[in-house]
Amino acid sequence: MYSNAYIFRYAGLMVILVAAILSSAAMLLKPMQERNEAVDKMQSILDAAGIENVNSKNAIELFNQYVTKMIVIDEKGVITDEYKDAGKENSEAFKVNLKEQLYNKSINRSFKLPLYVLEKDGEKINIVPLRGVGLWGPIWGNIALKDDFNTVIGVTFGHKSETPGLGAEIETPVFTDLFPGKKIFNEKGDFVSVGVIKGGIENFPADVQRHNVDAISGGTITSNGVNDMIKNVLESYVPYIQKRE
């Protein structure tokens, strides 16, 4: 039989030991993890723009090569920060905390969102980073728009903990390949976003097909999350897009 004092000593010692192990592991590995995250973000931006053969080794180099402009814009569409020189990963546009800014947006406070402009084969590609909620946790991604800020060139998605085989399929080409060619403005020039809808896209009229893609069977809530995420983020850029026209 163990005495109460032993139990307390045992529990106390165990907690201190485990805390020490975990926090030192976290501290030692943090710089490497942050670097991996930055590289992953660049990779995702380059992927969305349709640049091929990007891997974790050449991502920084390609990012510096292709990205020509990084700006931060506010809710009125005014550019508040612009960065052009080298060392892009330290620029304000790259470091914007989307979660925080979108929260500010949701409670009607002013917000600042980044926009990355790439140049590929003489064409300008605008990349808008996305962030929203899925079924179990956050989802994020990038959407690449043509110079006209209307036609989608490509998308990438990522997620923290969507269901494997169902919601998690948003990051696979099966889903992301549906996006290129879709428009975010209708013929009248009103913002409609790119939606994710149920029921088989080929059963809908052409004006619905123009702005929507098929949802994932069994991943309805994640699909809705993608739908809301794209709409919520892109609409914040509408003042900027209209201003430059």
Partner 1 sequence: MSTDKQEREPLFSAKNRKLLTNPLNIDNPITVQVLGICSALAVTAKIKPAFVMALSVMIVTAFSNFVISLMRNGIPPRIRIIVQLVVIASLVIVVDQVLKAFVYDVSKQLSVFVGLIITNCILMGRLEAFAMVNKPWPSILDGIGNGLGYGIILIILGFVRELFGSGTIWGFHVIPEAFYDFGYKNNGFMILPPMALIIVGIIIWIQRSRNPELIEN
Q: Which of 12, 16, 26, 242 binds partner 1 (CB under 8 A)?
A: 26
Question: Considering only CA atoms, which of 216, 186, 220, 188 is closest in space to residue 201?
Answer: 216
Q: For residue 111, which phi and psi values (nearest 5 degrees)?
A: -140, 165
CA dist., res. 171 & res. 146, Å (int): 21
Segment contacting partner 1 (CB under 8 A): 17-25, 66-74, 81-89, 191-199? 17-25
Q: Does 20 bind partner 1 (CB under 8 A)?
A: no
Contact call for residue 10 and partner 1 (CB under 8 A) = yes
d(CA 84, CA 72): 12
Give the DSSP H or E segment for 140: strand 138-145
User: Using CB under 8 A, which of 12, 16, 21, 109 touches partner 1?
Assistant: 21
With binding defined as CB under 8 A, does residue 47 bind partner 1? no
Binding partner 1 (rule: CB under 8 A), the pick from 85, 87, 122, 164 is 164
The residue from 69, 77, 92, 136 that contacts partner 1 (CB under 8 A) is: 136
CB 97 within 8 A of CB 131: no
**How is residue 154 written in tokens?**
């490509």
177 binds partner 1 per the rule CB under 8 A: no
Under the criterion CB under 8 A, does residue 39 sit at the interface with partner 1?
yes
Residue pair 74/101 in contact (Cβ under 8 Å)? The answer is no
Q: Are 137 and 159 in contact (CB under 8 A)?
A: yes
Vertex 67, ends 72 and 124: CA angle to 5°?
90
Among 129, 132, 154, 158, binds partner 1 (CB under 8 A): 158
Rule CB under 8 A: choose which of 104, 150, 163, 232 binds partner 1.
163
Interface with partner 1 includes 161 (CB under 8 A)? yes
Quick one: which of 89, 79, 63, 152 has its CA closest to 115? 79
Q: Which helix (H) or strand (E) holds 233?
A: helix 220-244
Task: Give how many residues touch partner 1 by CB under 8 A.
Answer: 33
Burial 173-201 (b: 16+ CB within 10 A, else e): eebbebbeebbbbeeeeeebbbbbbeeee
Residue from 50, 180, 181, 218 touching partner 1 (CB under 8 A): that is 218
Stretch that binds partner 1, among 31-39, 64-72, 80-88, 106-114 (CB under 8 A): 31-39
Q: Which stretch binds partner 1 (CB under 8 A): 16-24, 61-69, 90-98, 201-209?
A: 16-24
**Footprint on this chain of partner 1 (rule: CB under 8 A):** 2, 6-7, 10-11, 14-15, 18, 21-22, 25-26, 29, 32-33, 36-37, 39-40, 56, 136, 158-166, 168, 217-218
